[in-house]
Chain A
């Protein structure tokens, strides 16, 4: 968590605006959204979201930090970019949701849905270890992190029979370059 860092202004409610932070990160002005709702109309995940895309943007305009960083809805975005493609005022809701996720991960890690957090950690862990993702290792690591031990276990023989699982990971030569990228991009909650 952010413990190693001095307390950022943003960690104290009311001292820094989420709106300003998202503007800084994306270069976008949420005031451009006039709530037509076209983004939510085309969103494949809207049916499963507590807050629809246009509602997320509205709450951002109102600077509702706690509400936005705690909602599962930002983690349900698939970044299919339908909203961004169709926005009549050239706003980019998908980029805003990515920025919200990055901030939520830094400040409200416990609000990230467990299975989704487990998947992202397992996926990035593979890249950091090998430079590439080895799906067998990814699935194993995901299961340990999510505790979804039994999901898809019956699919393993079928995957093997079709030659679809690379069992032995191989590290790329430039792994140090890749780790350097991770280190330099490291967000504050990571050890280094």
Chain B
């Protein structure tokens, strides 16, 4: 399977382990990622919060480049990029005024034919393959699947699953052998882009998420968004300092968890780049009987 790839800015910097692990997992699952050449930033929150046309035109340019590259779908691992590209695609298809305005702004031949796919959508379509290739079943690892906002909302833009009771992350996590927990905060917001400009809000919101995950018996949280990861991992120290959390909780990108189950090397998956060490999880995995197979592969 070949699919277009839009990594976005975070995957080149603070979330580079998301890019590293996703590329390894894709290769293992025989998915070819064809990067959109010369892509620009999707504009994220700052564009749409200040200028509607800019918030559509920036991601529309990337969709136009993808079309020129003859890609029929583009995978956006970052939930924020996914949301902006999907929003642009939706607006161009349904809002004639915006579509005409953006067409003239772009000045590129473009018919809005390129599909936009999130990592949850892509991996939930290959769970059979993940099961087949699992070398290190993550049995007994209890996982809080954290969707956050931008993967599922608004429903008319992100319509591939239920916006209030989504299940794609759970189906992927189950394919690795791990056990998704039932919890109440899977769809709450982590504070997103306020990490720098309103850190106290991020600490308040993230602490509630970590506490709910712990209370549900989770050992780790799995995310599919660089902002969720940065807020829950990098900012976790401040959340712990506010009390009521006992011990740190590792936060993994979905692709890292899948990579571990496929027997890929944790270092190459980027697990050492986290602020909250995932070592307790790695110890648990290496103590499991599947360990010799992973060594064989390495």
Q: Which of B15, B54, B61 has the most CB of A within 10 A?
A: B54
In the bound complex, do residue A105 and residue B50 qualify as a contact, i.e. CB atoms below 8 Å apart? yes
In the bound complex, do residue B41 and residue A132 qualify as a contact, i.e. CB atoms below 8 Å apart? yes
The reply to whether the CB of B106 lies closer than 8 angstroms to some CB of chain A is yes
The reply to whether the CB of A66 lies closer than 8 angstroms to some CB of chain B is no
Minimum distance in angstroms from A149 CB to a CB of chain B: 13
In the bound complex, do residue B198 and residue A127 qualify as a contact, i.e. CB atoms below 8 Å apart? no
The reply to whether the CB of A8 lies closer than 8 angstroms to some CB of chain B is no
Q: A155-166 vs B: 1/0 string, CB under 8 Å?
A: 100110011111
Provided the pairs A132-B40, A155-B234 are in contact, do residues A181 and B105 lie with their beta carbons within 8 angstroms?
yes
Contacts of A81 in B (CB 8 A): 149-150, 153-154
Contact residue among A85, A127, A152, A182 (Cβ-Cβ distance under 8 Å from B155): A85
In the bound complex, do residue A85 and residue B61 qualify as a contact, i.e. CB atoms below 8 Å apart? no
In the bound complex, do residue B272 and residue A162 qualify as a contact, i.e. CB atoms below 8 Å apart? yes
Kindly report which residue of chain B lies nearest to residue A166, judged by CB atoms: B13
The reply to whether the CB of A133 lies closer than 8 angstroms to some CB of chain B is yes
In the bound complex, do residue B41 and residue A127 qualify as a contact, i.e. CB atoms below 8 Å apart? yes
Which of chain B's residues 223-274 have a Cβ closer than 8 Å to chain A?
234, 272-274
In the bound complex, do residue A119 and residue B275 qualify as a contact, i.e. CB atoms below 8 Å apart? no
Contact residue among B46, B54, B189 (Cβ-Cβ distance under 8 Å from A82): B189
Minimum distance in angstroms from A165 CB to a CB of chain B: 6
Inter-chain contact count A-B, CB under 8 Å?
Answer: 163
Minimum distance in angstroms from A139 CB to a CB of chain B: 7
Cα distance A151–B200 when bound, in Å? 12
Contacts of A116 in B (CB 8 A): 197-198
Contacts of A134 in B (CB 8 A): 9, 13
Cα distance A136–B13 when bound, in Å? 9
Cα distance A135–B40 when bound, in Å? 14
Contacts of B298 in A (CB 8 A): none
In the bound complex, do residue B40 and residue A85 qualify as a contact, i.e. CB atoms below 8 Å apart? no
Contact residue among B45, B48, B61, B275 (Cβ-Cβ distance under 8 Å from A177): B61
Provided the pairs A101-B50, A116-B198, A158-B275 are in contact, do residues A166 and B12 lie with their beta carbons within 8 angstroms?
yes
In the bound complex, do residue B197 and residue A172 qualify as a contact, i.e. CB atoms below 8 Å apart? no
Cα distance A6–B246 when bound, in Å? 60
Interface residues on B, range: 35 or more
Contacts of B205 in A (CB 8 A): 44
Contact residue among A99, A124, A131, A135 (Cβ-Cβ distance under 8 Å from B10): A135
In the bound complex, do residue A79 and residue B48 qualify as a contact, i.e. CB atoms below 8 Å apart? yes
In the bound complex, do residue B49 and residue A79 qualify as a contact, i.e. CB atoms below 8 Å apart? yes
The reply to whether the CB of B16 lies closer than 8 angstroms to some CB of chain A is yes
In the bound complex, do residue A185 and residue B57 qualify as a contact, i.e. CB atoms below 8 Å apart? yes
Cα distance A85–B275 when bound, in Å? 33
The reply to whether the CB of A187 lies closer than 8 angstroms to some CB of chain B is yes
Contacts of A181 in B (CB 8 A): 54, 57-58, 61, 105-106
The reply to whether the CB of A17 lies closer than 8 angstroms to some CB of chain B is no
Cα distance A172–B8 when bound, in Å? 13
In the bound complex, do residue B149 and residue A82 qualify as a contact, i.e. CB atoms below 8 Å apart? yes
Contact residue among B97, B164, B194, B196 (Cβ-Cβ distance under 8 Å from A85): B164
Cα distance A181–B52 when bound, in Å? 12
Contacts of A94 in B (CB 8 A): 154
Q: A103-133 vs B: 1/0 string, CB under 8 Å?
A: 0010000000001101110011011000111
Contacts of B189 in A (CB 8 A): 44, 78, 80, 82
Q: Which of A79, A159, A162, A178 has the most CB of B within 10 A?
A: A79
Minimum distance in angstroms from A137 CB to a CB of chain B: 10
In the bound complex, do residue A98 and residue B47 qualify as a contact, i.e. CB atoms below 8 Å apart? no
In the bound complex, do residue A98 and residue B40 qualify as a contact, i.e. CB atoms below 8 Å apart? no
Contacts of A152 in B (CB 8 A): 196
Interface residues of B (CB under 8 A from A): 9-10, 12-16, 38-41, 43-55, 57-58, 61, 65, 95, 97, 104-108, 148-150, 153-155, 163-164, 187-189, 191-194, 196-199, 201, 204-205, 234, 272-275
- Give me 17 A-to-B residue pairs in the complex whose CB atoms sit less than 8 angstroms apart, sorted by A's number: A76-B198, A78-B45, A78-B149, A78-B189, A79-B45, A79-B149, A82-B187, A105-B50, A116-B197, A123-B46, A124-B50, A134-B13, A136-B13, A142-B197, A163-B16, A177-B40, A185-B54
Extra inter-chain contacts (18) besides given A98-B52, A132-B12, A132-B41, CB under 8 Å: A45-B201, A76-B198, A78-B149, A78-B192, A80-B150, A81-B150, A101-B50, A120-B49, A120-B50, A124-B50, A127-B40, A127-B41, A142-B196, A172-B38, A177-B61, A177-B108, A180-B105, A185-B53
The 8 closest A-B pairs by CB, nearest first: A81-B153, A80-B189, A80-B149, A119-B197, A123-B46, A185-B54, A133-B9, A120-B46
